Amino acid sequence: MDTPQSTMAQKIAEAASAFQQQRTGHAPKAVTVVLSEATLVITLHGALSPAERALAKTPEGAAQVQGFHRQLFASSAEPLRDEISRITGVEVREAAAEVEPTTGAVVQVFTSGTMVQVFQLARGIAIETWNGNGQAR
């Protein structure tokens, strides 16, 4: 819910969750939003459906799930990019999404259903603004 007291991070988390629900029919269990300089990282926890988690238990299935989410994000991310730009007041320069096994065990990563979205902004955002204590520069 977008309230006047919501921080940028909260607003982006809400937008990312709604975006995931709209395009896949499956809302993430939790969303983490991190900003470092001009890089925005959105992690959707529990973002995969039960069928995707089951499919990802094999290397071939994991590759299918990865490919599906890459293509889905590439073809449908514009509204989320626009919303991030609206919330932050900064243009989103690049965007990518990946469902990636980072531990070498595909099942471990896909079982948790974590998806990481990284947005490269055109410039940094003041920490005071990010935390809801100031205005964007």
Distance CA 126, CA 103 (A): 33
Distance CA 49, CA 99 (A): 13
| Residue 74 structural domain | 8-130
CA angle 97, 6, 114 (to 5 degrees): 25
Query: What's the pTM value of the predicted model, to 2 decimals?
Result: 0.74
Q: Could you report the per-residue pLDDT of 101-131, keeping only the tens digit for each?
A: 332 222 222 234 556 666 767 877 887 777 7
Determine, yes or no, domain membership for 103.
yes
Q: Could you report the per-residue pLDDT of 36-86, keeping only the tens digit for each?
A: 777 888 888 888 888 888 888 888 988 888 888 888 888 988 999 999 999
Tokens (6 digits) for 105: 């065990």
Determine, yes or no, domain membership for 93.
yes
For residue 3, the SS3 value is coil
* Number of domains present in the structure of the chain: 1
